[in-house]
Structures are given as structure tokens and as C-alpha cells.
């Protein structure tokens, strides 16, 4: 942002730097001098003529700091932008600690200054609308910090990537930049009575330290003035759609926001409904969230915890992300080892890392060009998945169809 002087409640990672210098942690100052002369953010080329870049929003709750750092290292690339948010149920010390650990995690984070931690946390009531508010806040912060990324990606501490960022950037290079990846349906089924019609109030929004919500004894009819869509809260949204939702002059995003304030699990319907009711965006919607998830039958609130027995199927799926994992589940080490080439406490060594590959050094402690990618074997599978999705979209432009027609043609 050009000289932005707005006050933002971020624990700025550079503010933490001051603390660190004050406490004179040895080696830190040395390492700053150490990477002088290496490329930094100014050498990263963004825009339509260059490879895409992602804005990752990584959310977590109390006690999730270690998983969030691990996830950050697994999806880190100097081209991208990252915003980490630990919800209001955790003490401030945990957020400050996260900011320090981010800063110390690798020299590239200090050189590219592309990771921030939300300092003034929002509540994230599991069923209420505060989680949606936190997402919209994150999206607008990411636009404000750096408006030149191409896609906004929501991740949670329990998620993990199945491809490297080189793979991800490579595959998305052939995707039109206005496409959105949102798993959605208007076939509400049992959700109509249990999720759409109840009226709830999220106490986290107006009371400090509240995690509950209140439910009205009456239900309301399913709306008629717009079509209600629902789906997975894990999305990949284009920058143009985020700008439309956050800054737009069209009133649809705000009208729906007022409605969704009192909807259970509003993050499972808001973006989906805005997108599918907007003539400008409904044709740019690919019906997939690009996550590998396994659901129980009947489905519970969250998918299965994935483990070693799921490894082969996960890799076969070609999906770029999977959800959900227990902290430090052994299968994460296997993904690091077999797929990401990532070592403990280090970033995934992409083409940008130019340090020597010796067992005692981190290849990403030195870097060169962040505008080139070296896709690995998973990129081929992911590219195939992407091609199939785009072909399907072209052949029957199935996105945002109301379910009467979707069921007829399937």
C-alpha cells in the first residue's frame, strides 16, 4: 500500500523485529546483514503477465500456534502473502508468541515481509457468523496490505498441502485469474430445516469472551428474493470477487451479509450465495474446493481425521490440500518427506531456494529468483484434476445451476 498510514490492529511482524533487536537475540542482526543483496519483495513480479500469487488466510484457535507455523512453512513462497489469525479464545500472549515464531521461522520471511499475524483477534464462534466476519476482515486486510495477489485461499490449522507451491503456482498459471473454486449446491436437503431456517444470534460479536450463540424458537422461511447456495467453507476466491465482496458498489454482498448474520454456519453459504446470485460471477465458479476430505456416512460436522492409511488415496486424488489432520500425525511427516521435500523447521525447497542442499544447511536460507517454478510429480496429477474441472465447466457450465436441473442432467 502506498504510504498507507491507517492504523491496523496487526501485530506487525516488523514491530516484533524491534522487540527482538531490543532483546538483542544474537544471530538475528547478523542474519539480516547476511541476506543483504539477495532479492526481496521488489524483485517479485506480479500481475497478468507473470505467474500467479496467492493470499493465504490461515486460521486457528487456542493452542494451534505450532500447527500454524508448520502449515505456514509447508505453503510458504516469497510470491505469496500470508495472514495468520488465532481466534479470540486464545490469550494475547499466544498471538505475540506466534508473531515472534513467524519472524524467526526463516530468513525469507524477514526479507520478503509477506507474513502478518492478526493482533486484535476476532471471536470465531463455531456455529455463528463471527467466523464469517473474521474471514471478511482477513480478506480486506490482505487487500489493503498488498492488492496484487490473484487468489484468496482459506486454510485452517488442521489442513495440510499435498503439493508444493511451485506446483500450485504452475498449475494455476493456466487458469483464468477470475475463476473461483467453491464447492456449492442449491440442493439444500436436510440442511434447509437444520441450517437455513433457524435464526441464530452469535454472542461472540457483541459480548466479550462469548463462544455461544442463541437460537430463536421460531424458524423463518427459506428466502425467495435470492437463491440460497450452500457448500464447503474452504474456498479459493479470485481477487476480483473479493474486491466485489469487500469494496463493491453493488449492494448484493451487503444485503446477503445482513441476512447471513443470523444463519447457522454462515461461512458455508455466504460466498456461495453471493457468487451464484451475481450475474458477473456465477459463470466463473468451478464446483470444487480442491481439498481432499473423507466424510463419514452420515456426515458429521467435520470430515474424518486423515492418517497413514489415507496416504495413497490422498496422493491419487491430485488435490492440492487435504483436511483434516491431528497435530503432528505421522502422515504429515510422510507428506513432507515424500511429496514436499520439506525438512523439520524448514520451508519447502522451491525453485526460489538457491542454498546448497547439504544435510546441515537449509537450502532456503539463500534464494534467488522467486519468479520461476520447478513443478514436481504431484503437479501433473493436480494439472489433470484442474483440466478435468475446466473441461467440465466448459461443456455444461454446471456452476451455480439450481438443483432441479443439476439432478436432471446427472
Ligand X SMILES: *[C@@H]1O[C@H](CO)[C@@H](O)[C@H](O)[C@H]1NC(C)=O
Contact between 304 and ligand X by CB under 6 A: the answer reads: yes
Q: Which stretch binds ligand X (CB under 6 A): 124-132, 134-142, 177-185, 398-406?
A: 398-406
Contact between 279 and ligand X by CB under 6 A: the answer reads: yes
Tell me how many residues contact ligand X (CB under 6 A): 12
> Are 239 and 177 spatial neighbours (Cβ–Cβ below 8 Å)?
yes
Q: Supply the minimum distance, in Å, between the C-beta of residue 405 and ligand X.
A: 4
Contact between 174 and ligand X by CB under 6 A: the answer reads: no
Between 266 and 278, CB nearer to ligand X:
278
Contact between 327 and ligand X by CB under 6 A: the answer reads: no
Q: Which stretch binds ligand X (CB under 6 A): 69-77, 139-147, 229-237, 275-283?
A: 275-283
Q: Supply the minimum distance, in Å, between the C-beta of residue 207 and ligand X.
A: 37
Between 284 and 365, CB nearer to ligand X:
284
> Are 121 and 95 spatial neighbours (Cβ–Cβ below 8 Å)?
yes
Q: Which stretch binds ligand X (CB under 6 A): 25-33, 236-244, 276-284, 385-393?
A: 276-284
Between 216 and 308, CB nearer to ligand X:
308
| Candidate residues 92, 194, 222, 283; the one interacting with ligand X per rule CB under 6 A | 283
Contact between 307 and ligand X by CB under 6 A: the answer reads: yes
Between 207 and 308, CB nearer to ligand X:
308
Contact between 308 and ligand X by CB under 6 A: the answer reads: yes
| Candidate residues 26, 93, 309, 410; the one interacting with ligand X per rule CB under 6 A | 309
Contact between 194 and ligand X by CB under 6 A: the answer reads: no
| Candidate residues 43, 178, 192, 280; the one interacting with ligand X per rule CB under 6 A | 280
Distance CA 141, CA 304 (A): 32
Q: Residues 240-269: x/- map of binding to ligand X (CB under 6 A)?
A: ------------------------------
Between 19 and 308, CB nearer to ligand X:
308
Distance CA 198, CA 263 (A): 7
Between 257 and 294, CB nearer to ligand X:
294
| Candidate residues 222, 361, 402, 407; the one interacting with ligand X per rule CB under 6 A | 402
Phi, psi of 35 (to 5 degrees): -95, 10
> Which residues in this chain contact ligand X in the complex, by CB under 6 A?
279-280, 283, 304, 307-309, 397, 401-402, 404-405
Amino acid at each position: 500500500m502506498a504510504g498507507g498510514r491507517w492504523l491496523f490492529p496487526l501485530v506487525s511482524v516488523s514491530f516484533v523485529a524491534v522487540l527482538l533487536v531490543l532483546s538483542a537475540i544474537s544471530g538475528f542482526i547478523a542474519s539480516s546483514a547476511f541476506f543483504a543483496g539477495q532479492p526481496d519483495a521488489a524483485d517479485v513480479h506480479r500481475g497478468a503477465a507473470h505467474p500467479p500469487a496467492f493470499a493465504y488466510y490461515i486460521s486457528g484457535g487456542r493452542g494451534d500456534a505450532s500447527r500454524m507455523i508448520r502449515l505456514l512453512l509447508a505453503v510458504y513462497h516469497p510470491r505469496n502473502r500470508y495472514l495468520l489469525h488465532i481466534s479470540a479464545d486464545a490469550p494475547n500472549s499466544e498471538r505475540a508468541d506466534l508473531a515472534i515464531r513467524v519472524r524467526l521461522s526463516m530468513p525469507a520471511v524477514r526479507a520478503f515481509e509477506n507474513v502478518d499475524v492478526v493482533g486484535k483477534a476476532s471471536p470465531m464462534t463455531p456455529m455463528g457468523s463471527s467466523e464469517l466476519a473474521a474471514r471478511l476482515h482477513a480478506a480486506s486486510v490482505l487487500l489493503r496490505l498488498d492488492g496484487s495477489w490473484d487468489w484468496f485461499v482459506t486454510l485452517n490449522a488442521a489442513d495440510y498441502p499435498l503439493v508444493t507451491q511451485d506446483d500450485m503456482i504452475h498449475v494455476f498459471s493456466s487458469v483464468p485469474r477470475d475463476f473461483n473454486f467453491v464447492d456449492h449446491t442449491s440442493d439444500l436437503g436436510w440442511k434447509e430445516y437444520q441450517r437455513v431456517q433457524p435464526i441464530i444470534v452469535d454472542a461472540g460479536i457483541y459480548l466479550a469472551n462469548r463462544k455461544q450463540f442463541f437460537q430463536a424458537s421460531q424458524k423463518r422461511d427459506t428466502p425467495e428474493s435470492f437463491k440460497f447456495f450452500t457448500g464447503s467453507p474452504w474456498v479459493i476466491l479470485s481477487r476480483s470477487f473479493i474486491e466485489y465482496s469487500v469494496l463493491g458498489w453493488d449492494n448484493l454482498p451487503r444485503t446477503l451479509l445482513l441476512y447471513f448474520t443470523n444463519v447457522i454456519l454462515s461461512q458455508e453459504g455466504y460466498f456461495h450465495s453471493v457468487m451464484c446470485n451475481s450475474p458477473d460471477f456465477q459463470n466463473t465458479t468451478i464446483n470444487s474446493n480442491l481439498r481432499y476430505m473423507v466424510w463419514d456416512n452420515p456426515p458429521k460436522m467435520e470430515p474424518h481425521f486423515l492418517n497413514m492409511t489415507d496416504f495413497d488415496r490422498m496422493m491419487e486424488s491430485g488435490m492440492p490440500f487435504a483436511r483434516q489432520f491431528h497435530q503432528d500425525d505421522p502422515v504429515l511427516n510422510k507428506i513432507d518427506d515424500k511429496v514436499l521435500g520439506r525438512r523439520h523447521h524448514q520451508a519447502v525447497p522451491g525453485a526460489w531456494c538457491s542454498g546448497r542442499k547439504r544435510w546441515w544447511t537449509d537450502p532456503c536460507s539463500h534464494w534467488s529468483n522467486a519468479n520461476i517454478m520447478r513443478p514436481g510429480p504431484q503437479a501433473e496429477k493436480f494439472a489433470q484434476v484442474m483440466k478435468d474441472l475446466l473441461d467440465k465447466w466448459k461443456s455444461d457450465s454446471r456452476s451455480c445451476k439450481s438443483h432441479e436441473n443439476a439432478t436432471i442432467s446427472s
